[in-house]
Structure formats: C-alpha cells, structure tokens
A and B are shown apart, each in its own frame.
Chain A
Amino acid sequence: MYEKMVTARYYEERLEEEYMADKKPAFDISKGLIPGELHLAAGQEAAAAGVCAHLRDDDTVTGPHRPHHIAIAKGVDLERMTAEIFGRETGLSRGKGGHMHLFDPEVNFACSGIIAEGVPPAAGAALAAKKRNTDSVAVAFLGEGAIDQGGFLETLNFASVHDLPLVMVIEDNEWAISMPKERVTDVEDGSKRAGGFDMPGERVDHDDAVDVYEVAEDAIGRARDGNGPTLLEIQVHRRMPHFLGDPQVYRSEENIERHQQLDSIERLADDLRDRGVEDGDLDEIRESAHARVDEAIEWAKEQPLPEPETAYEDVWTNPPYGVSDTEPAVPVPGGDD
C-alpha cells in the first residue's frame, strides 16, 4: 500500500509540473504537452490503496474524473496511462480519451468524465460476475458530490435488489469543485444513504490507510461471498485545486493548509515504523517509486503523437454493416476499420 501511495502522490506532483510548465505567462488550457483539464488526486491516495489492496485483476473498478491514484492502485499500465495523458499514439486509448477516459481492460479499469457515470456500469460488471457464478467483485469510486446524482441513487437500489457483488466507495474530499459538502448535501455521513436501501454502509472518518484496508476487507469480502453490496465513505483530502488552473478563491487559506497538513502517507509511514519497518526500506520504496514515475513520464514524452487520420478510427468494433453473412448491397461509405 505504501508503494502505491507514494507512487500516486509523486505521479500527481510530476504531472502538475509537466502540465504547468508551458502555460506561462498567460495560462492557456489548450497549450502545452498536457492540454485540457487535469484533475489531480494528491491527498486521496489512502482510499484507493486501502480498497484496491483487496482486488484482483478480474475485479472491475470504475473511477471518476480524478482517477490516477485509483488506476495506479489497481495496477493499470503506468506507461501507457501516462502516454494517454500526453495524448500519444501508444496511450491506452491511442490519444482519443485523455486523462478522464482511461480504459485498461487487462485489469478491468475504466474511468469517465460525467459525475457518477461509472457507478451503474460497475453494477453491470457485478451483475455479469453474478450471472457467470464467479467470485469477482466490482468497485465504483465516486466523490461526495456525486451522491446527489440520480444514477448513483438508482444504483443503490438496483444493486441491493439484485444482491450484486458491488462496493461503492465515496471519496469525501469536502469539495465539489467550489461547493462545500454542507451546502449541497443534507447528510454529514454519505454512507447513511445505504440505510434507505437496506444495504450496509460505513464511513471512515480520517484517511488512515490501515483503517481503510480493514473496512474494505469486510466490504469486499461480503461481496465475494455473495452477500451483496456495501456503501463506504472515506474522508480524504484535496491538496490541489479541482483542476489545474483553478485559483481556488472560494477556499480559505486555512482550509487548504489543513488539507495539506493531514498526510495519510506520513501516517502510514509512522504506522509501518511502529511495526518495525526500517526507514531505509521506506526510503528505498519511495525512491524506486519516484524513479518508476520519472521513467514513465520520460517514455511517454518520447512517444509519437497520433496521425490525424486515426481520428476516424475506433468508432466501431465490427464493420458498419454488422456481422451479416450477406455482403452489403452497397459499400457503406464513411465507415472505418
């Protein structure tokens, strides 16, 4: 877990550097090696690491628009993910998706850009596991802002009524862009939403990776044993702005500092030291994680950009005319592949 967390933290910090490097003196979001919006998850690592520690490659994870720490914890191909963020041909989506739309079928990970959009598909993966009688589970990550979205609320019922092996994990970083939780949600503890749906719910009030690990172990175990869905809420911190370029004028200095001082990585390190792990070992893990991230970024930057013609490819898996045995009467124009 420590390794995943330090990898994730350093990844976000390096991406911030790369992103901001060529956006001066005037910030222009479409310029630079990483254009577009970038939503970084520094401060949220414990939720991802503590939950994904219990997952296998055949377990499905869906994530939100702030996905990197989850992808790293799930074992997504780091190099190809980085290439995708840099918009390269060898990225996970050949440059078509970008950082909000990362797909790695090898480890059953996907993230998407619309709030709560990944929750119903996670239920779908859980449904498939159940129909096939495997013990795979699905986990949907969402923010505390997403618990007000219809798709999430519907899925609570859907998963419950069908007894699906699904765990929904709310990462409560307190802010839905600029809207603080108490302004838009009427409960302090989002996991209580589960009660109305006859589902167990639990909140971890501080992002201690070990506590998250233990709570997740129960929830995922419950799902794997065929005992249905669980809703978890984990308090995390948002050390960085909502997206890079957000001046966070809506957030007090005091709030930003408080989020930045509570460091779940340090807390885990202390815990590990208490259990007898040597500082030298921790340093080694951290250094090698940093080196790996640096290498992935360097590799990604050397990758070729996609050729413009590839923009027309990958709309379909099968030819436009489907899989009919009969050749189409007229060749179908505008199709690709």
Chain B
Amino acid sequence: MSDERVAVGIDELWPEDTGEDEGVVVDWFEREGASVEAGDLLCVFQVVKVNVDVESPVAGVLDEIVKEEDDVITREDTLAWIEPA
C-alpha cells in the first residue's frame, strides 16, 4: 500500500445548517478496483434530509472503501482511498 494514497474526505462538503454531526452513506457508485477520473461521482452521503455527492479528488484507482453503504459517518471520516494514477 503506497503512502501516496489520497483520502476521500468530506469535511468541506458537510452541509452547514443541519445542526447534525452524524450522517450516513447512502450509495456507492464505484466498486473497489474501479478506475476513476478526477471529478467522477463516487458516492452519496446524507445528513438528515440533505444529500451530498462526493466526487473523486484525483484520477486513479479506487483502492479501498472504508465506509460502506448504511455506515454512519461524521465529518472527520475518510470514506475511501484512491491510489493516484
């Protein structure tokens, strides 16, 4: 496992005015091992009633999904790791 894996974080994406610090991963759109481009849609998480799309920060391979569908998450969580191309 390379040290250069890029984290898929969600801190900046977390919706501000919900007053909630817990959310849930709703859908994954790519599987582990998939090749992705920067900006490709990876997954969606939900905080109360707000859905947030998560895009890939870099081009590469989706190396590991850390938070699966239905997992509860907080804004500090890393959802997955990308092995950059």
Contacts and interface: CB of A to CB of B under 8 A. Distances in A.
Are the chains A and B members of one assembly?
yes
Interface of A: 24-27, 245-247
Nearest to B23: A25
B68 to A, nearest CB: 13
B53 interface: no
Interface of B: 20, 22-24, 26, 46, 48-50, 70, 72
19 contacts: A24-B22, A24-B48, A25-B20, A25-B22, A25-B23, A25-B24, A25-B46, A25-B48, A26-B24, A26-B26, A26-B46, A26-B70, A27-B46, A27-B48, A27-B49, A245-B49, A246-B49, A247-B49, A247-B50
Contacts of A26: 24, 26, 46, 70
A26 B44 CA distance: 12
Contacts of B50: 247
Contacts of A25: 20, 22-24, 46, 48, 72
Nearest to A249: B50
Nearest to B15: A247
Contacts of B22: 24-25
A24 B20 CA distance: 10
A24 B49 CA distance: 9
Given A26-B24, A247-B50, 18 more contacts: A24-B22, A24-B48, A25-B20, A25-B22, A25-B23, A25-B24, A25-B46, A25-B48, A25-B72, A26-B26, A26-B46, A26-B70, A27-B46, A27-B48, A27-B49, A245-B49, A246-B49, A247-B49
A27 B22 CA distance: 12
Contacts of A247: 49-50
A248 to B, nearest CB: 9
Contacts of B24: 25-26
Nearest to A247: B49
Nearest to B18: A247
Nearest to B46: A26
Contacts of B72: 25
In the A-B complex, list the 5 residue pairs whose CB atoms are closest, starting with the nearest. A26-B24, A247-B49, A25-B24, A25-B22, A27-B49
